Amino acid sequence: MTFDLQYTDPKSNARAGIITTDHGQIETPIFMPVGTLGTVKGVHLHELKDDIKAQIILGNTYHLYLRPGLDIIERAGGLHKFNGFDRPMLTDSGGFQVFSLSGIRKMREEGVEFRSHIDGSKHMFTPEKVMDIERTIGADIMMAFDECTPGTADYEYAKKSMQLTHRWLDRCLKRFNETEPKYGYKQSLFPIVQGCVYPDLRKQAAEFIASKGADGNAIGGLAVGEPTEKMYEMIEVVNEILPKDKPRYLMGVGTPINILEGIERGVDMFDCVMPTRNGRNGMLFTKDGIMNMRNKKWEDDYSPIEADGASYVDTMYSRAYLRHLFHAQELLAMQIASIHNLAFYLWLVGEARKHIIAGDFSTWKPMMVKRLSTRL
């Protein structure tokens, strides 16, 4: 994997570049739709590629390991062959999912023992096993196994958690370097910066991660309960240290405004379930603000969902029709909203890239933040 940093905004740390993998190129800054179980919920592959224009999507190690299981994925020839997505993919290590299973998991130095949320069966994730699982899934970018520290953790817990993540990273790197990809193309491993909301821990973590010389680096443990301003502060602290010639991935973030703030601070890659999860609940993100499609005000509004929207659904369907679908609990409502939101997110990072290249990102961004904050 290579990263070509092409432009930097003259008045901020916003960057535009190109990541090249064996499955194609990714123009940054980029948003990555979340395909937890090998599918982006409610979205067909042709819509994902040709309408939403996703350049890279995510799969999740924890969920894919439990179902359909590694044997099925390996016999298919890896996740690309299994789900038909022939562009780059990234796999989360499952660290966040294990963190969220606090009632049914036990952490120790070796790894994490947990019970499946599906059938209660007992499993063990170690750094070595996670590397083997991610090799079998076959994503272009693999994430290191980490402990995702809660945003409200006290200093001592956050420090011990960070140190454990670093010891696990060394084991991940050893296993990664000892094994080969299974399907004839290269894979990259990204370490993850932890440290909660404590600047000195974030600095230590960023220095440790930077010293590993990985193809790219991730910032984890944010948007997990800490105040938004703390999140932005931690991004700044970390990006002062992470190498400028490698892509930076902010995990699990976030709202359209969060993404623009992250771009301004030098982040290149984003993912979040928000566009699809919120979409399924009737929330649409648009260029002019947020729409709750369950509201009565749309009941007889026969105008397009978004006249100058980024997807075909925006002009094919009216606001009144979409509101009707939500109130009738029709599955099509969730599909339309998911496609709209994902296309909007990809449009937004594409526009940010254009303005970084044009040199006026710092003028465009505050204007865009103001528009995105509006409730329609």
CA distance 66 to 47: 27
Has 119 been annotated as catalytic?
no
Has 271 been annotated as catalytic?
yes
CA distance 242 to 193: 9
Structure tokens given for 181: 């990809």
CA distance 111 to 127: 7
Could you tell me which residues come within 8 angstroms of residue 298 by beta carbon, excluding any fewer than 6 positions away?
291, 319, 320, 322, 323
CA distance 373 to 376: 10
- Per the CB < 8 A criterion, the answer to whether 214 and 191 are in contact is yes
Structure tokens given for 196: 């909660």
* 95 is annotated as contributing to ligand binding: yes
Instruction: Write down the catalytic residue from 51, 140, 271, 314.
Output: 271
* 279 is annotated as contributing to ligand binding: no
CA distance 235 to 250: 8
* 359 is annotated as contributing to ligand binding: no
Residue 38, SS3 per DSSP: coil
For the chain, strand residue ranges (E) read 2-8, 15-21, 24-28, 30-32, 57-60, 89-92, 105-107, 112-115, 122-125, 141-143, 188-190, 192-193, 217-219, 248-250, 269-271, 283-286, 289-292
* 50 is annotated as contributing to ligand binding: no
- State the Cα torsion 254-256-259-263 to the nearest 10°: 180
- Per the CB < 8 A criterion, the answer to whether 272 and 35 are in contact is no
Q: For residue 60, give Cα distances in angstroms to 92, 112, 124, 203.
A: 5, 16, 16, 28
User: In this structure, how many other beta carbons lie within 10 angstroms of the beta carbon of residue 71?
Assistant: 9
Instruction: Write down the catalytic residue from 92, 140, 268, 314.
Output: 92
* 92 is annotated as contributing to ligand binding: yes
* 6 is annotated as contributing to ligand binding: no
Structure tokens given for 29: 């800054």
* 285 is annotated as contributing to ligand binding: no
Structure tokens given for 8: 């930097």
* 9 is annotated as contributing to ligand binding: no
The residue among 104, 109, 19 whose CA lies nearest residue 62 is 104
Residues at the binding site are 92-96, 146, 194, 221
What residues form the annotated binding site for substrate?
Answer: 92-96, 146, 194, 221
Catalytic residues: 92, 271
